[in-house]
C-alpha cells in the first residue's frame, strides 16, 4: 500500500505540546483524520485552537490526503466586543 505524506506545522503553545514546530507524518490509511495524526487534540477544547488544511479551515474529523499541509495554531482574540 502506498504511504501518504502529510506536513504539520505547530504554532504558539501548540508547538510545546507537540514537542516540535514541524513534522512530516507518513500514513498508511487513506481514511485517516487529523485527530488521528495529532493525538493530543482530544485533550484540548475546540475553542483553544484553529486547524487549517491547505489554507482552508478544518475540523479534527477532516480526512487528510497525500501532500496535505496542516497548520495548528492557537485561537487568538477574545475580550468583549461590547467594550471596543
For residue 18, what is the domain's CATH number? 3.10.20.30
pLDDT tens for 36-80 read: 999 899 999 999 999 999 999 999 999 999 999 999 999 986 555
Q: What is the pLDDT of residues 19-31, one digit of tens each?
A: 999 999 999 878 8
What is the pLDDT, as a whole number, of residue 1? 61
Q: What span, in angstroms and rounded, lies between the C-alpha atoms of 65 and 42?
A: 21
In a domain, 18, yes or no: yes
Quick one: 67 exposed, middle or buried, by C-beta within 10 A (0-12, 13-18, 19+)?
Answer: exposed
Alpha-carbon torsion 2, 33, 25, 5, what sign?
Answer: positive
Using pLDDT thresholds of 50, 70 and 90, give the confidence band for residue 84: very low
Q: Does some domain include residue 82?
A: no
Domain membership flag for residue 19: yes
| CA 64, 39, 73, 61 torsion-angle sign | positive
CA 52 to chain centroid, in Å, comes to 6
Question: Residue 50 falls within a domain, yes or no?
Answer: yes
pLDDT of residue 28: 87
Amino acid at each position: 500500500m502506498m504511504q501518504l505524506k502529510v506536513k504539520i506545522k505547530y504554532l504558539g503553545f501548540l508547538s510545546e505540546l507537540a514537542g516540535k514546530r514541524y513534522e512530516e507524518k507518513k500514513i498508511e490509511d487513506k481514511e485517516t483524520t487529523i485527530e488521528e495524526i495529532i493525538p493530543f487534540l482530544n485533550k484540548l477544547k475546540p475553542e483553544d485552537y484553529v486547524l487549517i488544511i491547505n489554507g482552508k479551515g478544518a475540523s479534527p474529523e477532516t480526512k487528510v490526503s497525500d501532500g496535505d499541509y496542516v497548520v495548528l495554531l492557537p485561537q487568538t482574540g477574545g475580550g468583549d466586543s461590547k467594550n471596543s
